[in-house]
Structure 1
Amino acid sequence: MAERLSAREIVALVTDDFTPLPAPVAGHRSPDGPLGWAGYGAARARAAARTGEEESVVCGRAVIGGTAAVVLAFEFGFLGGSLGTRTGDLLEAAHEYAREQRLPVVPLVATGGSRMQEGMRALVQLQRVARQSALTRAAGLPQIAVVRDPTTGGGWATLGAGADVVLALPGAQVGFAGSRVRPPDADPAAYTAEAQVAAGAADAVVRPEELRETLALWLALLDRPSPRPAPPPPAPLGRTAGLPATGWEAVARARSLERPRAEAYLDAYFTRRAAIGGDRCGGTDPGMLCGFGEHEGRTVAYAAQDGTATRPAGYRTAARLIRLAGRLGIPVLTLVDTPGAANDAEAERQGAGGAIADLFEAVATARTPVTTLVIGEGGSGGALALAAPGNTWATPDSYFSVIAPELAAAILKRPEDQVRATADQLRVRPQDLVDLGIVRGITGPASPRPPG
């Protein structure tokens, strides 16, 4: 079990400065709540005396690493951090303040869910919280949640899982079903922070001593809209001089194990960066690197294929990244490098076609500029889905093809010794792609002048 910090302890851990927001004026309420639950008023009084808080959440304006934000810190010691009508009042007022002041929102969540003593009046607070979160999202303000121990029930399904970025403390109990309502044979390991990251429902597990620095980085990156102009493509990192003479040489260069991969390009392009992980649908793909980084003083989002066949979760994660960047006014860089979409039976069961279609749509309707660089293999529609129409560039050691030359030869019923000739016919070289109008230009000193 993770260490359970109080609301004030977690606030002190992550903020440089914190000022509580004034609580909204409460209307008349029965001492024992809307249901007249006998002893509820006394239980609230004991919780207040024990914790020093008047409710299960403490809301305030804070500074984290130099960035101002609205912090929503839950106090689990107050009736299990449960959400009641007064909790809803405080959360609504905090979101309204965040929108008025144009501040990001940082929920520090530790809750067992809705408050039993208020019945359905407590449960419908989830609708209220979800609406406030949606309004804040529509206003273009980031929400970065930290899920603590425990985060279950509606608090996880709204304030936690509904955030743009979800960080989790190690060993925290995280899941929709709390420990007292799960099936008796349920695997407890499935309800942990680590399991939620593995399933793509949270982005990262962060140790308490690293939490302030991590939040500061995320806030610095996301609270900085800079949509135009489009980010420049990265400089080529390959050591091969000149352009490939044949189509097959282009393919061989792109497949070389010595060619720089996405991590090298991201490290060279960004001075600092933070990664998101997972598609929020139960999947992850380590071959699709997504996140936000700082390039020449401004934030750029990135989605980069890392040379493997891209899984459905990878396409969904990239689509999530592009849409989030659009909401926050942040331009996008994509790096294409894949032999193609994963085509095994499990990929089909995971909805490969739908995931690719969703990414095509996300790129086509992107609200901020997208720049693409093909750094290696550009294999068919599985690569094209990540490419920006009209703003795609290529490195000298890359190729782009309707399909891999070997597969093209097989489809055309050509013998194996015709594969290299097929590569030439497909015109897959970077310079061919420029001539065909597929890419704007080739990065590096070997570049022909881009059209226009």
Structure 2
Amino acid sequence: MADPGVRISAREAIALVCDTFTEHELGEVPPAGDGPLGWEGYGAARDRAARRTGSAESVVYGDATCGGVPCVVLSFEFGFLGGSLGERTGDRLEAAYALAREHRRPLVSLIATGGSRMQEGMVALGQLQRVARASVLLREAGVGHLAVLRDPTTGGGWATLGAGADVVLALPGAQVGFAGSRVRPPGADPAAYSAEGQLAAGQVDAVVAEHALRDTVAFWAGALGGGTGEAPEAAPVPRALGPDVRLPRSGWDAVRAARDPGRPRAAAYLDDYFTRREPLRGDRCGGDDPGMLCGVGLHQGRPVAYAAQAGTATRPAGYRTAARLVEFAGRLGLPVLTLVDTPGAANDAEAERAGAGAAIAGLFGAVAAARTPVTSLLIGEGGSGGALALAAPGRTWATPDSYFSVIAPEWAAAILKRDPSRVAHTADQLRLRPQDLAELGVIRGIVGPAPH
């Protein structure tokens, strides 16, 4: 929110994103007196919270539509004991997940919570296990979950409902973190506990201004709407961009064309292919690689998941984010488009410490195990295994201004102890041109521009 100090109610949050909302009531039996711990004054505090907020608990839920898409929406009431999770909250959360699963409707969680309710002790903390189980069942059913992080989103609410969602949006300036403001280490950097800090750390997909939230939630509600259970049709291959579509005469010509700074890059291809797209950012392990563009876009009115290398050396976080994207698409029945364009995997010491090998292996495995069709287009440099990891076996095409090689010609010449003057000859020997790749069966074909 523009001013995170001003906290809106659960129903005000629902009004921000929903066209319609029909609240459900469970008719739960409230905790007797001062609750399971006999916490003095707890019963009176609950009664005051209920009168003040008009809510019987810290969560409301029900059927809704977002952008015309039927959804199940749950929203936290921070004014009810800080939006804390107690046993009755767990009842409502579990019911909301079950409703979404039963009707195969995406779940939209509007979160504002300080964590588990101290006045119920371990009974309250145990609700996190119920939420985790409900989340697993929702994923197994192939139903999507979108979380919107309001201010604050901390403790177990962040560690289960928030961080466990398929897509995580946050409002600007929202406090987001496992540790709330009163329990952090002295001198802790407050930026690390903000929506913007979590975005930079790869934990949040986008920070969305309040005025844009309704439209963004509607987009994701449509994308997460749940598949039919059948494999979708593969995404069509994009057309080639750029004015020069001639095939290279030599291997070195192919390398120079792919390295041309004026060549169309991933962003241009994505803009040409999609009428709209929204990002999925971060590897959920503390990293975000701006050179790996991931998200979901609309192509001819149909949602398609995409992972696109932007021409830079791909970092471990990029491979993990792409693997997350492929797995996400498989569960939700979305076809996948990948755009291959990298000189290779980042090979500096930091990349090695961040697990480059394991991250690349993870993406190879995700593509190999993909449950929905993956369409790949080589649009520039195809540098060794760092590029191949993003390419679909048997479903990869290439543009005329691209190349794919087991190793860069310069490195091949160096390993073979050849004079630098023989790099161009080495490029020819590697047979890395698009037409060579087609002849070798490495790619299915070479794409051209759209007919005029």
How far apart are the structure 1 equivalents of 2:311 and 2:435? 21
1:93 and 2:95 aligned = yes
Q: Secondary structure at the match of 1:68?
A: strand
Match of 1:287 in 2: 291
* 1:250 Cα deviation from its structure 2 partner: 0.4
The equivalent residue for 2:308 is 304
Aligned to 1:225: 227
Question: Are 1:396 and 1:446, in contact at CA under 8 Å, matched by a contact in 2?
Answer: no
Which of 344, 352, 361 aligns to 1:340? It is 344
Determine the structure 1 residue equivalent to 2:393: 389
Per the alignment, in what secondary structure is the counterpart of residue 446 of structure 2?
coil
**TM-score w.r.t. length of structure 1:** 0.97
SS in 1 for 2:168: strand
The residue type equivalent to 1:393 in the other structure is: W
Residue in 1 that maps onto 2:384: 380
Q: What CA distance in whole angstroms lies between the structure 2 residues aligned with 1:150 and 1:45? A: 23
* Unpaired segments ≥5 residues, structure 2: none
Answer whether contact 1:59 1:94 (CA < 8 A) is retained.
yes
Cα offsets for 1:260-298 (capped at 9, x unmatched): 000111011111111111000000000000001111221
Secondary structure in 2 aligned to 1:90?
helix
| CA distance in 1 between partners of 2:28 and 2:20 (Å) | 27
In structure 2, what is the Cα distance between the partners aligned to 1:299 and 1:191?
32
1:23-42 matched pairs, under 5 angstroms: 23=26, 25-27=27-29, 29-42=31-44
Do residues 7 (structure 1) and 14 (structure 2) align? no
Q: 1:331 aligns with which of 320, 329, 335?
A: 335
1:450 counterpart residue number: none
SS in 2 for 1:140: coil
CA contact (8 A) 1:243 1:446 kept: no
1:261 aligns to 2:265 (yes or no): yes
Shift of 1:27: 4.6
Matched, 1:417 2:424: no
Deviation per CA, 1:159-212: give whole Å up to 9, x if none.
Answer: 101100100011111000001111112111111000000000011111111100
Matching of residue 46 in structure 1 with residue 48 in structure 2: yes
Match of 1:122 in 2: 124
Match of 1:437 among 433, 437, 441: 441
Give the alignment's Cα RMSD to 1 decimal: 1.4
> In the alignment, which residue of structure 2 is the partner of 1:209?
211
CA–CA separation in structure 1 for the residues paired with 2:100 and 2:235:
29
Deviations 1:128-180 (A, max 9, x none): 01111111111111100001100100000001011001000111110000011
What amino acid does structure 2 have at the position aligned with 1:203? D
Please report how far the alpha carbon of residue 28 of structure 1 lies from its aligned counterpart in structure 2 after TM superposition. 7.1
Alpha-carbon distance between aligned partners in 1 of 2:33 and 2:43, rounded to the nearest angstrom: 5
Structure 1: runs of 5+ lacking an equivalent: 448-452
Deviations 1:357-389 (A, max 9, x none): 000000000000001000000000000000000
CA–CA distance in structure 2, aligned partners of residues 206 and 4 of structure 1? 16
> What is the rounded CA distance, in whole Å, between the counterparts of 1:400 and 1:350 in structure 2?
26
TM-score, structure 2 normalization: 0.97
Q: How many residues align?
A: 446
Contact 1:225 1:299 in 2 (8 A): no
SS in 2 for 1:408: helix
Give the distance between the partners of 1:220 and 1:94, measured in 2 at CA: 19
Cα 1:394–1:53 shift into 2, 3 Å: same
Partner of 2:366: 362
Post-superposition Cα deviations, 1:68-125, rounded to whole Å, max 9, x if no partner, equal: 1111100000000000000000111111111111110011000000000000000000
* 3-state SS of paired residue (1:162): coil
Deviation at 1:26, TM superposition (A): 2.6
Q: Which moved more, 1:221-230 or 1:49-58?
A: 221-230
Distance 1:296 1:209 in 2: 27
Match of 1:22 among 17, 22, 25: 25
Between the aligned residues of both structures, percent identity stands at 71
Q: What pairs with 1:136-155 in structure 2 (closer than 5 Å)? A: 136-155=138-157
Aligned partners of 1:167 and 1:106: how far apart in 2? 11
Counterpart residue number, 2:274: 270
